[in-house]
């Protein structure tokens, strides 16, 4: 028994900000104070509040140390762990109140959250199967194998109302029953862990923080549809996730939770990892399966759906990581419990990856139907530097931008689609007044042009033409006709593309055209970029009154576009200026403005 446990986040965010060194120094300090039999250091998965990393929690007190530096460790060890005096100045400031320390669950970031998919992340050691088992792990699998028939498992999932968390929101139970209904000598259970949506990292967090939940859920899915083999298609860009998942699979095999005759039943199931190699289109189900088969990850027409003919022509189900991570809890707590959370058609919770211009970047899990305002303002802590909220982008390159006028919309699958965006995998990027919406639309189109697999013409050629028009707009050379053409192209690509990538690629353009038409008009008609982002439309000027003639700007200008004598007002020659902004950065008197 240890009297104190120190949990240090070993997720990607905190590892990037140096949590490995923190753990090393911490263990050395604890050893040098002779506390190694009393204090245990545990490397956990992500706590969610990545903006404050590296993060460390000391139990039983629950003291939440944020932005920990290695230099702070000796003090924490000698004061807190040895003498029991919490080092208040190093705590997350929100947990420090006048009357002492308040619990993490009462802070704005955690108060409104409800953790189902992420319940073990940041709580257990992901590399130790016993810790997962201690938190009811593999109990749901045992219950399924000993108490329920496969059909009963499927009907529980159906009744829970769980929908796919990866994009389209297809009801999971129906997917399973379709695959169950097809007879075959071999069936497969696949997991999409190829989280390609830029700005979303919840799947990575589950893989890194709670890998066993995925194994348990996939085994349950295998039992339900009658499959004995599973594949996890995981991004090679997630090395920590790959490593921990492999450790988890090995441990599960050792405990007999994967392999033959699990829990003494006649059900056998095993699984393997397959690494992706950086192709966004492989998030599409048929493309993912083609990639597992070892080919170019190109999608194919449906039907036949994977439930009929999937991997190697056999009935297959594919769900994403977050979907699976809900399954064991639904089995243990019942369909009614899950269905009691959320809105009428979207049950349960959803994890969002908050990013962009927001104070508390990180992962949050909230019940479906929470409003955007609650997520951005209350949990996310609002916009930094006193800037104004402009839009929130959901659904990545397939989604759209939600303007301030829809700030109070309850977030669920259907509401997001009704305003031209989509849930996608749950990336939520916040943009402030300095973000140009035309530039963002162009950014997403660059992404889809790059990632289009090239198999069908509407997507391969269409997105390229859209990008060309958007480039013209940001260069100030487009006409109003181009705007009409752009919109028309959007509808053609949406209705004629082969797979989800092409069908949703125009969404970022359509939604910004709809909500931010004025910005497009400013670029096209006035040849101005209101947010000051599109370089071709900017011009730099020196304000006479403010210029002291220090010559600094003239010296940093890479093209000698600035002239003027010492202690006299300088001028920028606009025909030479390349708009690099170096002069503005260097000016100490705020005398240079961009318009």
Partner 1 sequence: MANKKCAIAFSGTQEQEQELMEVISSYKEEKGALMPVLQKAQEIYGYLPVEVLQMISTGLDISMAEIYGVATFYSQFSLNPKGKYKISVCLGTACYVKGAGDIFDKFAEKLDIKGGECTPDGKFSLDACRCIGACGLAPVLTVNDEVYGRLSADDVDDILAKYSE
Stretch that binds partner 1, among 69-77, 152-160, 246-254, 287-295 (CB under 8 A): 287-295
Select the residue interacting with partner 1 from 58, 392, 429, 467 (CB under 8 A): 429
Nearer to partner 1, 22 or 145 (CB): 22
Nearer to partner 1, 49 or 77 (CB): 49
Q: Is 355 in the site for partner 1 (CB under 8 A)?
A: yes
Q: Is 396 in the site for partner 1 (CB under 8 A)?
A: yes
Nearer to partner 1, 249 or 257 (CB): 249
Select the residue interacting with partner 1 from 144, 449, 453, 505 (CB under 8 A): 453
Q: Is 196 in the site for partner 1 (CB under 8 A)?
A: yes
Q: For residue 585, give both structure tokens.
A: 């950065």
Select the residue interacting with partner 1 from 96, 275, 417, 577 (CB under 8 A): 275
Q: Is 16 in the site for partner 1 (CB under 8 A)?
A: yes
User: Judged by CB under 8 A, how many residues of this single chain contact partner 1?
Assistant: 52
Find out whether 65 and 52 touch, Cβ atoms under 8 Å. no
Q: Is 426 in the site for partner 1 (CB under 8 A)?
A: no
Q: Is 306 in the site for partner 1 (CB under 8 A)?
A: no
Q: Is 543 in the site for partner 1 (CB under 8 A)?
A: no
CB of 269 to partner 1, least distance (A): 18
Query: Cα separation of 248 and 215, whole Å?
Result: 8
Distance of CA 451 to the CA centre of its chain: 18
307 contacts: CB under 8 Å, gap ≥ 6: 175, 178, 179, 181, 182, 315, 316, 317
Q: Is 427 in the site for partner 1 (CB under 8 A)?
A: yes
User: DSSP secondary-structure letter at 313?
Assistant: G
Query: Cα separation of 163 and 181, whole Å?
Result: 19
Nearer to partner 1, 318 or 331 (CB): 318
Find the Cα–Cα–Cα–Cα dihedral 243, 247, 253, 255, rounded to 10°: -160
Query: Cα separation of 231 and 203, whole Å?
Result: 16
Q: Is 424 in the site for partner 1 (CB under 8 A)?
A: no
HSE-CB of 118 using CA atoms within 13 angstroms: 29
Pick the closest to residue 426 from 591, 227, 252, 206 (CA basis).
Answer: 206
Select the residue interacting with partner 1 from 238, 352, 413, 515 (CB under 8 A): 238
Select the residue interacting with partner 1 from 3, 296, 464, 517 (CB under 8 A): 296
DSSP string, 242-270: HHHHHHHHHHHHHTTSSBSSGGGSS--BE
- Classified as helix, coil or strand, 303 is coil
Query: Cα separation of 142 and 153, whole Å?
Result: 12
Q: Is 204 in the site for partner 1 (CB under 8 A)?
A: yes
Q: Return residues touching partner 1 (CB under 8 A).
A: 12-13, 15-17, 49-51, 53, 195-201, 204, 236-238, 274-280, 291-297, 312, 353, 355-357, 361-362, 393, 396, 427, 429-431, 435, 440, 443-444, 453
């Amino acid at each position: 028994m240890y009297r104190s446990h120190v949990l240090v986040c070993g997720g990607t965010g905190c590892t990037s900000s140096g949590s490995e060194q923190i753990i090393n120094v911490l263990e050395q300090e604890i050893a040098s104070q002779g506390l190694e039999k009393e204090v245990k250091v545990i490397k956990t998965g992500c706590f969610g509040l990545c903006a404050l990393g590296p993060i460390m929690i000391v139990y039983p007190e629950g003291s939440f140390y944020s932005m920990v530096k290695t230099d702070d460790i000796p003090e924490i060890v000698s004061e807190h762990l040895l003498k029991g005096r919490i080092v208040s100045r190093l705590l997350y400031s929100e947990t420090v109140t006048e009357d002492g320390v308040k619990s993490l669950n009462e802070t704005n970031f955690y108060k409104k959250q409800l953790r189902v998919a992420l319940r073990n992340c940041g709580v257990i050691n992901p590399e130790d199967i016993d810790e997962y088992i201690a938190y009811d792990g593999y109990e749901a699998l045992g219950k399924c194998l000993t108490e329920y028939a496969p059909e009963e498992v499927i009907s529980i999932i159906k009744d829970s109302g769980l929908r796919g968390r990866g994009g389209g929101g297809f009801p999971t139970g129906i997917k399973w029953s379709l695959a169950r209904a097809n007879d075959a000598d071999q069936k497969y259970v696949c997991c999409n862990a190829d989280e390609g949506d830029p700005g979303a990292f919840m799947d990575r967090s589950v893989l890194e923080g709670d890998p066993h939940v995925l194994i348990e859920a996939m085994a349950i899915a295998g039992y339900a549809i009658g499959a004995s083999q599973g594949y996890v298609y995981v991004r090679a860009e997630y090395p920590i996730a790959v490593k921990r998942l492999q450790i988890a699979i090995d441990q599960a095999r050792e405990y007999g939770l994967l392999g033959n005759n699990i829990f003494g039943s006649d059900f056998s199931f095993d699984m393997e990892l397959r690494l992706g190699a950086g192709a966004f289109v492989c998030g599409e189900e048929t493309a993912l399966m083609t990639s597992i088969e070892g080919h170019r990850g190109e999608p194919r027409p449906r039907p036949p759906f994977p439930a009929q003919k999937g991997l190697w022509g056999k009935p297959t189900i594919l769900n994403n990581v977050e979907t699976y991570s809900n399954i064991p809890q639904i089995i243990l707590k019942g369909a009614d419990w899950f269905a009691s959370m959320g809105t009428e058609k979207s049950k349960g919770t959803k994890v969002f990856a908050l990013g962009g211009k927001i104070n508390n970047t990180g992962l949050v899990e909230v019940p479906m139907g929470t409003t955007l305002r609650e997520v951005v303002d209350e949990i996310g802590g609002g916009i930094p530097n006193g800037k104004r909220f402009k839009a929130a982008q959901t659904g990545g390159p397939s989604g759209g931008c939600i303007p301030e006028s829809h700030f109070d919309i309850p977030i669920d699958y259907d509401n997001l689609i009704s305003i031209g965006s989509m849930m996608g995998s749950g990336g939520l990027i916040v943009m402030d007044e300095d973000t140009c919406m035309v530039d963002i639309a162009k950014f997403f189109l660059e992404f889809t042009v790059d990632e289009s697999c090239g198999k069908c013409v509407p997507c391969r050629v269409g997105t390229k033409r859209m990008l060309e028009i958007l480039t013209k707009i940001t260069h100030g050379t487009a006409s109003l006709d181009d705007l009409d053409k752009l919109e028309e192209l959007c509808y053609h690509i949406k209705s004629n593309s082969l797979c989800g990538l092409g069908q949703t690629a125009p969404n970022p353009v359509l939604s910004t055209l709809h909500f931010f038409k004025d910005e497009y008009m400013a670029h096209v008609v006035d040849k101005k970029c209101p947010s000051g982002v599109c370089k071709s439309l900017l011009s730099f000027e020196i304000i006479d009154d403010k210029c002291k003639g220090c010559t600094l700007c003239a010296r940093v200008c890479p093209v000698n576009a600035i002239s003027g004598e010492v202690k006299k007002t300088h001028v920028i020659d606009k025909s030479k200026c390349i708009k690099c902004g170096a002069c503005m950065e260097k000016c100490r008197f705020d005398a240079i403005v961009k318009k």
